[in-house]
Amino acid sequence: MLALARGIADSGVPLVLRHVSPDSPVIDAIRVAYRGRGIVLVHPEVKRGYVSISAYPTSMRGVSQLATDVFHFGFNRVSSRFRLDVAA
């Protein structure tokens, strides 16, 4: 799982996963893969018991996607009240 997460992080493409169990090993694998390469946001979903993961690499694509998400969804999506986990 870590090898796949590192491959995605190396690609420079933003990653969004929804409906992830909060105790899933996927969260740790993505956090480790993006450490030093970007930002990982884990935030609760409307459907209780699940979280969404957004990973933005420090590539041009990643920074552009983060700016787009902030533009469309506002700062609430990345504000500290939703930020449960940040790996940079």
Q: Specify whether the CB–CB gap between 34 and 83 falls below 8 A.
A: no
- Residue 12 falls within a domain, yes or no? yes
Per-residue pLDDT, 76: 56
The tens-digit pLDDT sequence of the chain (88 residues) is 889 999 988 888 888 898 999 899 999 999 999 888 888 888 888 777 898 888 888 777 767 777 777 666 665 555 444 444 444 4
Per-residue pLDDT, 88: 41
- Residue 6 falls within a domain, yes or no? yes
Count CB-CB contacts under 10 A for residue 46: 6
Q: Specify whether the CB–CB gap between 33 and 27 falls below 8 A.
A: no
- Residue 37 falls within a domain, yes or no? yes
Q: What is the pTM of this model?
A: 0.69
Domain that residue 13 falls in: 2-77
Per-residue pLDDT, 82: 41
Structure tokens at 1: 């799982």
Structure tokens at 47: 């459907």
Rounded to 5°, the CA angle 50-15-3 comes to 95
Structural domain count, the chain? 1
